[in-house]
Amino acid sequence: MSLTGKTIAELRSGIRGGEFSAREVAEAYNATVAGAKALNAYTVETPEDALAAADAADQARGQGGSLAGIPLGIKDLFATKGVDTTAGSHILKGFKPPYESKVTENLRKAGAGMLGKLNMDEFAMGSSNETSTYGPVISPWRRSGSNVGLTPGGSSGGSASAVSAHIAPGATGTDTGGSIRQPAAFAGICGIKPTYGRCSRWGIVAFASSLDQAGPMARTVRDCAILLEAMAGFDPRDSTSLDLPVPQWEANLSSDLKDKRVGIPKEYRIDSVPAEINALWVKGIEWLKDAGATPVEISLPHTKYALPTYYIIAPAEASSNLARYDGVRYGLREEGVKTLDDMYAATRAAGFGAEVKRRIMIGTYVLSAGFYDAYFTKAQRVRALIKQDFAKAFEQCDVILTPTAPSAAFGIGETTDPLAMYLNDVFAVPASLAGLPAMSVPGGLDGQGLPLGLHLIGNELDEQIVLNAGLAIEERAGFTARPEKWW
């Protein structure tokens, strides 16, 4: 098998055992990255960075960290010292942070190198990667017999496309309301969002701080566990970072689900969802039963209010977080206007794209005098009810199984209505609002040959059951389909 066909676990043992060098791995990946421009997955390529980490790993001769010599793709939302970090936005073009995000610092300490920065929806606001200032990422997948360009989902679309096309063995993603899980489902890969607070937000460009959480995207459940262990950990610089030891998720992986109860929420059964997706969900239940688990029907009564709650809270937080882009301290500045106020307004008009402006406007409106209680405080109250729904459900079950997304990947430009786009995250958003760990694993292909994902939600801090149930599905789904190379 070619080096780029191997999982991170296989690369790790191959490098440690001297079967191949880390330099060979980095060179193989650098070549595939350079040859995949048509996917528009990378915004910056950093082949030297990958090679330097590889050489360090080769010198350490198997004594390096858990990711020694593994080259990774890094979502453009993570600050990387001296390397362009733009969050897919024109307003940050040319921004080179003088510091490194905690998550990428942790990955580097574990020995990982960086292949480059990965394209994404502008400020992580989008479900199709079409809001990026660099243009949309293209999925390596195509419908059978068609060459229509499909979205890899979003906002971590570059990460999904890169891992799926084997131009990265793994990548970082971030998830505010589904931005790891929906693209993972669209691209036929795995992705996990841990409990809110597991990964430090320090050095991640902020979107909605009460929801933003980093996580890994990779080809297998085991690779996700390896990456998450390296990414997570307490950081005093993030006030919501959890001061807890990082569990040994990889060592504790087990697909034996004996005595585990799998909650099946009846509110996730939606008529408008294609039958194939509900059929895969039923298969997922069978697979988990086969692994020893007992399915139980549960109710999450406030599910239908999760999306509208999210679309008050996330834009409100975003409007506040994005106030910092003022043309003074970093990024774009529009010249040719007379006053300071005009400079702010002109810079933000030129720097932000349509979706970001829309969300800042919504956020500003729901936070404005006279509307704050009716919208923002109300949404925070409903968020409390959504959190309570999950707390009650986890008295009856250990893990929850649902579909990841209400459709397979769609074509670039096919969804133009903002509300229709928001509905992509209908199954992903409730777990985000509740801060819970959740994962997407590939379950199979639809009738058009496109991947569909299954979604697992665990209780607070219980990433292990999510990974274990994910592993049980992975072992039984036998998902080996690959997109045919056209790029």
Partner 1 sequence: MSVSHDQARHIAKLARIAMSDEELERLVPELNAIIGWVEQLAEVNTDGVEPLTAVIEQKLRLRDDAVTDGNIREDVLANAPEAQHGFFAVPKVIE
For the annotated catalytic residues, the residue numbers are 75, 155, 179
Candidates 29-37, 218-226, 431-439, 443-451 — which segment interacts with partner 1 by CB under 8 A? 431-439
Residues 97-156 close enough to bind partner 1 by CB under 8 A? 97-99
Residue 481 makes contact with partner 1 by CB under 8 A: no
Token pair belonging to 460 = 């607070």
**In whole angstroms, how close is the CB of 182 to partner 1 at the nearest point?**
19
Residue 390 makes contact with partner 1 by CB under 8 A: no
Residue 402 makes contact with partner 1 by CB under 8 A: no
Q: Which of 41, 332, 401, 445 binds partner 1 (CB under 8 A)?
A: 332
Containing H/E element for 265?
Answer: strand 261-265
Residue 320 makes contact with partner 1 by CB under 8 A: no
Write the CA distances from 386 to 209, 244, 336, 381, integer angstroms.
18, 25, 48, 9
Write the CA distances from 106 to 103, 304, 366, 483, integer angstroms.
5, 37, 37, 32
Those residues whose C-beta lies under 8 Å from the C-beta of residue 395, and which sit 6 or more positions away, are none
Q: Which of 65, 154, 435, 453 binds partner 1 (CB under 8 A)?
A: 435
Instruction: Report how far residue 157's alpha carbon sits from residue 209's, in angstroms, rounded to the nearest whole number.
Output: 20
Please count the CA atoms within 13 angstroms of the CA of 123 that sit on its side-chain side: 28
Q: Which of 40, 80, 128, 309 binds partner 1 (CB under 8 A)?
A: 309
Peptide bond into 155 cis (omega under 30): yes
The contact pattern for partner 1, residues 206-245, with x = CB under 8 A and - = no contact, is ----xx------------------------x--xx-xx--
Are the C-beta atoms of residues 441 and 475 closer than 8 Å to each other? no
The contact pattern for partner 1, residues 32-71, with x = CB under 8 A and - = no contact, is ----------------------------------------
Residue 312 makes contact with partner 1 by CB under 8 A: yes
- By beta-carbon proximity to partner 1, the closer residue of 1 and 419 is 419
Token pair belonging to 150 = 């499909």
The contact pattern for partner 1, residues 164-203, with x = CB under 8 A and - = no contact, is -------------------------------xxx------
With 0-12 / 13-18 / 19 or more C-beta atoms within 10 angstroms meaning exposed / middle / buried, residue 476 is middle
Are the C-beta atoms of residues 12 and 60 closer than 8 Å to each other? no
Instruction: Report how far residue 482's alpha carbon sits from residue 166's, in angstroms, rounded to the nearest whole number.
Output: 10
Instruction: Report how far residue 404's alpha carbon sits from residue 182's, in angstroms, rounded to the nearest whole number.
Output: 6
**In whole angstroms, how close is the CB of 342 to partner 1 at the nearest point?**
8
CA angle, residues 120, 121, 122, in degrees to nearest 5: 110
Residues 75-94 close enough to bind partner 1 by CB under 8 A? 94
- By beta-carbon proximity to partner 1, the closer residue of 371 and 486 is 371
Token pair belonging to 419 = 């509300």
**In whole angstroms, how close is the CB of 344 to partner 1 at the nearest point?**
4
Residue 411 makes contact with partner 1 by CB under 8 A: no
Q: What is the largest CA-CA distance in the chain?
A: 70
Residue 352 makes contact with partner 1 by CB under 8 A: yes
Q: Which of 67, 192, 412, 433 binds partner 1 (CB under 8 A)?
A: 433
**In whole angstroms, how close is the CB of 288 to partner 1 at the nearest point?**
26
Token pair belonging to 382 = 């409903």
Instruction: Report how far residue 474's alpha carbon sits from residue 285's, in angstroms, rounded to the nearest whole number.
Output: 13
| Residues listed for the chain | 487
Candidates 5-13, 118-126, 199-207, 367-375 — which segment interacts with partner 1 by CB under 8 A? 367-375
**In whole angstroms, how close is the CB of 424 to partner 1 at the nearest point?**
15
Phi (first) and psi of residue 205, to 5 degrees: -60, 125
Q: Which of 250, 348, 430, 438 binds partner 1 (CB under 8 A)?
A: 348
Are the C-beta atoms of residues 307 and 429 closer than 8 Å to each other? yes
From start to end of 6-121, where are the E strands?
A: 42-45, 71-75, 113-118
Token pair belonging to 2 = 């070619």
Write the CA distances from 233 to 95, 107, 159, 201, 445, integer angstroms.
27, 11, 22, 11, 35
**In whole angstroms, how close is the CB of 298 to partner 1 at the nearest point?**
19
Residues 248-287 close enough to bind partner 1 by CB under 8 A? none
**In whole angstroms, how close is the CB of 442 to partner 1 at the nearest point?**
28
**In whole angstroms, how close is the CB of 98 to partner 1 at the nearest point?**
4
Instruction: Report how far residue 474's alpha carbon sits from residue 255's, in angstroms, rounded to the nearest whole number.
Output: 9
Q: Which of 16, 143, 289, 358 binds partner 1 (CB under 8 A)?
A: 358
Q: Which of 90, 143, 289, 378 binds partner 1 (CB under 8 A)?
A: 378
Q: Which of 2, 272, 339, 480 binds partner 1 (CB under 8 A)?
A: 339
Candidates 5-13, 128-136, 185-193, 318-326 — which segment interacts with partner 1 by CB under 8 A? 318-326
Q: Which of 360, 412, 465, 466 binds partner 1 (CB under 8 A)?
A: 360
